Amino acid sequence: MKKIKKILVPLDGSKNSMRGLDEGIYLARQCQATITGLYVVPLAKPQTNSQISYAEKYLLNNAAKFMAKAKKRAAQNGIVFDDQVVYGDEASKIINFSKKKSYDIIIMGSRGQSGLKEAFLGSTSNSVLHKSNIPILIVK
């Protein structure tokens, strides 16, 4: 059995994603692993700072606040936490990021912020579950 050393926890500011983080922290403590919190801003990346709209600023500020809260929570539990913010489609960014950085496991909440979108398109966690080639723990 492979040892878990690198845990990827996709975060979106929801209570469910914080439950995923808490589970990640628990597992990291058992395995002496590190956590990377990945926040996907569901927009195309702006080319320059002058092109950032009010809505984008709001989303980025929310991401920064939430990641600071997540980093503090991990630190209080003695866990090394690296925060990453990327732009684009949540599921594909999570899968590509996990492959590129070779994580051992992805731990994520079962439902995130986008409740209405999930009803029609299927949830991000469902998409990641079916497309990832590394183990995934989905937390309810």
Domain boundaries, the chain: 6-109
- Token representation of residue 128: 């990641």
Quote the pLDDT of residue 50: 67
How far apart CA 26 and CA 101 sit, in angstroms, is 21
Q: How far apart are CA 125 and CA 91, in angstroms?
A: 7
Predicted structure pTM score: 0.89
What span, in angstroms and rounded, lies between the C-alpha atoms of 51 and 126?
33
The Cα–Cα gap between 90 and 11 comes to 10
DSSP state, 45? P
Superfamily in which the 6-109 domain is placed by CATH: HUPs (3.40.50.620)
Largest CA distance in the chain: 49
> Average per-residue pLDDT in the chain?
88
Q: Please tell me what DSSP assigns to residue 49.
A: G
Q: Under 8 Å CB-to-CB from 8, ≥6 apart: which residues?
A: 35, 36, 38, 94, 97, 98, 101, 103, 105, 106, 107
pLDDT-based confidence at 119, cuts 50/70/90? very low
**pLDDT at 77 (0 to 100):** 97
| pLDDT band per the 50, 70, 90 thresholds, residue 112 | low
